[in-house]
Every structure is written in structure tokens, then in C-alpha cells.
A and B are shown apart, each in its own frame.
Chain A
Amino acid sequence: MENIVEIEGLTKTFRNQRGIREIDLNVQRGDIYGFFGPNGAGKTTVMKIMCGLSRADKGKVRLFGYDVTTHYEQAITKVGVLIETAEAYNYMSGRRNLELAARMYPGLPRRRIDEVLELVGLDNVGQEKVGQYSLGMKQRLGLASAILSRPELLILDEPTNGLDIEGTVQIREIVMRLAREEHTTFFISSHLIHEMELMCNRIGILYNGKLIREGLKSELLEGRFATLEDLFLHEVKEERGAIAHA
């Protein structure tokens, strides 16, 4: 299978000495890759470097074979991004926000805006100013904006932030549908481990800036763990023990 995300030796250290160290991972076409880790483990840092919002001290990120540092435009063309909270221009309507985004993709039909608004359940409020949206509505708009260009890879950092139960389920359904019908590849981080278990086929566990476990979900669970939560807690406990021992 083709690797559409290749990360090699990714390292970044912040002033407080926290950061990420020597991250190596690959995401294959069609994967739904779940990226786990406790708060502050470095998940968002990795994702920000992947989409050019931040720069690594060392290491490489290639998307579709293009280095994001040297060939950013080519690397990001087939990628949709939702990092941390979804941001939008509050003084414009949701639809106008999407129109601005759509202009960056030549040949994208205007009806696609209606499609994505309907898909995320914002078709009735598309004309309202984003300033009047709730946090959950903004998150849906962020997702609509990320999937607008029919990307082949979606990088989603905590996509269910601010969503209620119904919204969370809806996001899961959208992810599953895009993976099934449009063969979209996903790289998702979420603290909702149950949701991730239902969606992901491949997982990576990040702890203290280090990728401590990575592989196909089925292989990692392999009858030893009943749930992803058990695996996660086990890996984190082992890593903590190793750090304490060292």
C-alpha cells in the first residue's frame, strides 16, 4: 500500500524542554489512523508540523511524497485540516467562509458548498454570521471547511471538541462515510478513546513526546486487551515505569 504520510525522525523542543522526539510513522492510503496520548504528549505539535503551522527542529514530514517544508503547496493540495478549535471569520456567514476557502481550489463546483453544509448539518444556518454560532456549530463549520475540497487525507485534531453526543456520533458517521465512499485517509487525534476505537484501523500512542506504540489496531490488541482503553493504559503505565526506573 502507498504511504501518503511519511514522518521520519521528527523532533521539536520548546523552551520549557517539552516537545516531541524522533517520531517515525507512516500512514497508508485508506487508513483511519488514531493518534492517542495524554494531554501535553505532543499530538498537536506533530499535527501542526504536518500541516505547516509549525516547524520541526529535525526530521521530515512528507505528504503524498512532497516535503511540507520545501514543497508546501504540492504537499497540502489534497489535504484537509482541522487543528485544535475550528476558526472562522466571525464577521461573515458560514457560507461566505466556505466560499473564501473554495476559491483556493480551482475547479471546485459551487454546489460543493451546499453539499458540505448539508453534510455537517449547517444548511439551515449557512447564511448566519459565524459570530452567532455556538462552539459546536463552529466545529462543524471547521469540518465542512476541511472536507470542502474532497481531500484525500484529512488531519483532524480533536474534531469532536465542543460537540454534544449527537454531534460526536455525527462526526464519526461522516468519517466512516468518507472513508468508505471516497476512500479518504484520516489522521485523527481525540481523547474520546471509545469513538476512536469504533473508527480507527491503525493507531499510534504518544507519551511524553515519544511514539511508544504504533501499528494496526487488530495486531496491537491481539486478544491481550479487550479494548483500546486497556491497551492505552497498559502502554502508558509501562512507559511511566520505564521512566521511573531510568
Chain B
Amino acid sequence: MHSLYANVWNETLKMTFKKKTWFFMAITLIIPIGAGILLANFQSNIGISAVSSSDFPMTMLGLFTVLFLPLFVFMGAADQFSGELGDRTLKIVLTRPISRFKVFASKQLSLGIYIAAYLLLAMIGSVVSAVFLRGGLSEFAILDVLIAYGAAFLPLAVLSIIAVFLAQFFTSSSGAITVSILLYIAVKGSSFFFPQVSTYSPTAYLNWHTLWLGNTMGNGQVWSVFMFLLACSILFFTVGFYLFDKKEH
């Protein structure tokens, strides 16, 4: 287990040393704060409260889970796999005393750590911004925010597993990012024309956190979506690892 733990730490540090990670982290913090300030000014000027302070963190989470965080996830997955394959730096870790399975799993786990960090920053930014809006946040609203941001982790983690699977087909991060984004847009877009697509697409459940909110939380629906996402993650993780394992360097 030492090698797994050590490489999770290494992979996480590697991402930390990249400037773009800090840029994305800053964006994740700045967007909700900036949006909060702008919205507060706008609403005080027109005298109508379109977005309340308790709704604001959820509105921002909706925006993050559909738009920004998938982009960051695609970039992270592409950098860790196809990017390293292209730079020929993947062999640095492959020639250390660690199995390929542990290399694959540790890279995936470090992506999970980054998703959690992005969500935490987005939550902090949103909660801080809510202060600028009228009303502030009640204790219950804060609890809802914690639950929603926590629940949003799972579909994003599944998305990262799918992104890692896609990255196995490319030897440059730019190719992997482009195709991941295009596929994401295509799947999201196709659900408008063919609603049945969304039933079988993991990307349709990025707003899974909404099921956890309020008194009308449907346990059955939460459970069935959870099982579907779990099945997707097992499937894509297994095939992703198979492709990673048979690669020659």
C-alpha cells in the first residue's frame, strides 16, 4: 500500500506544481465571488431580488457542475495520461516499484482529490458571495449547501473516470481534451433532441445534487442514479485500466 499512497501524493503534487492548476483554482474561487458582487449590485439597482442569497450557492453549483468543472476534469485527465504519454514522462513512474494498477488508481485518486478541492473552493466562494446578497444564509441553507456540494462530487468523479478512459486513446493532451469536450457537448446536446439519451448518459446526472435537496428527496431515485453511476464508473475504470495496462512505452 505504500506505493499507492506515495504515488497518490506524487500525482497530487505534480498537479500542484502546474501553473494552470492554480489558475483554475483561482477561477473557481473568483467566479462565484465576482458573480455575487455583480448580482448584488444589479439587484439593488433594479430593486428586484431574482436570485436570493440561499439560492445563490445552488445556482453557482449548477453552473460549475455543468460547465467549469467538467472542463477542469477533462484537462486533468488528459494531462495525467495522454499528456504524460506524449511527454514520455509516464515511464518515470512505471519504472519504480509500483504496479501499473496502482499507477492507474493513484492517478485517478489524485483527480478525485482535485475535484474535491475545486468543489470546496467553489463552495467557499459561493457562501462568501451569498453574504453580499440580501438575506444571508440560514443554518439549514448552509447544511443544504454542504450536502449539495458533497453530493456533486460523485457524478464529477464518474466523469473523471470516463475522461481517463478517453485519454487512453490519445498521445497528446490537446487531442484528448478536444475530443472529451466535443463528446461532452454532443451528449449534452443530443439529449435535447433525443431525451432518452439522457437516461443512459452519466453526464445527464451532473445535477444529481438537486435530488438531495429539500424535503422531497426521493430515496428511490437517488439510489437508482447512484447505482447507475457506480456501474458506469466500474465499467469505464475497468476498460480504462485494460487499455492503460497493455500500453507499450
Contacts and interface: CB of A to CB of B under 8 A. Distances in A.
Nearest to B89: A87
B3 A54 contact: no
Given A53-B248, A73-B3, A100 B94 contact: no
Given A91-B17, A104-B7, A76 B89 contact: no
B134 interface: no
A48 B93 CA distance: 14
17 contacts: A48-B249, A52-B100, A53-B249, A55-B248, A73-B3, A87-B88, A88-B89, A89-B89, A89-B92, A91-B17, A100-B13, A101-B96, A104-B10, A104-B96, A104-B97, A104-B98, A105-B97
Contacts of B3: 73, 104
Contacts of A74: 97
Contacts of A89: 14, 17, 89, 92
A106 B92 contact: no
Interface string B1-12: 011001101100
Contacts of B94: 52-53
A81 B91 CA distance: 10
Interface string B67-104: 00000000000000000000111011111111110000
B21 to A, nearest CB: 10
Interface residues of A, number: 28
Given A48-B249, A100-B14, A103-B6, A87 B97 contact: no
Nearest to A76: B97
Given A52-B94, A53-B94, A76-B97, 6 more contacts: A72-B99, A73-B3, A76-B95, A87-B91, A88-B92, A101-B92
Contact of B10 (A55, A87, A103, A145): A103
Given A48-B249, A88-B89, A104-B3, A53 B18 contact: no
A85 B89 CA distance: 11
A73 B99 contact: yes
Interface residues of B, number: 27
Most chain B C-beta atoms within 10 Å of own C-beta, residue among A89, A92, A101: A89
Interface of A: 48, 51-55, 72-74, 76-77, 81, 83, 85, 87-92, 96, 100-101, 103-106, 145
A51 B91 CA distance: 10
Contacts of B246: 55
A72 B98 CA distance: 8
Nearest to B248: A54
B14 A81 contact: no
Contacts of B6: 103-104, 106
Contact of B95 (A52, A85, A106): A52
B81 to A, nearest CB: 15
A52 B101 CA distance: 13
A54 B248 CA distance: 5
Given A54-B248, A100-B10, A103-B9, A87 B92 contact: yes
B95 A51 contact: yes
A54 B245 CA distance: 10
A231 B97 CA distance: 37
Contacts of B88: 85, 87
A106 B14 contact: no
Interface string B225-249: 0000000000000000000001011
B95 A81 contact: yes
A138 B92 CA distance: 13
A105 B87 CA distance: 24
A97 B94 CA distance: 15
Contacts of A72: 99-100
A92 B17 contact: yes
Contacts of A106: 2, 6
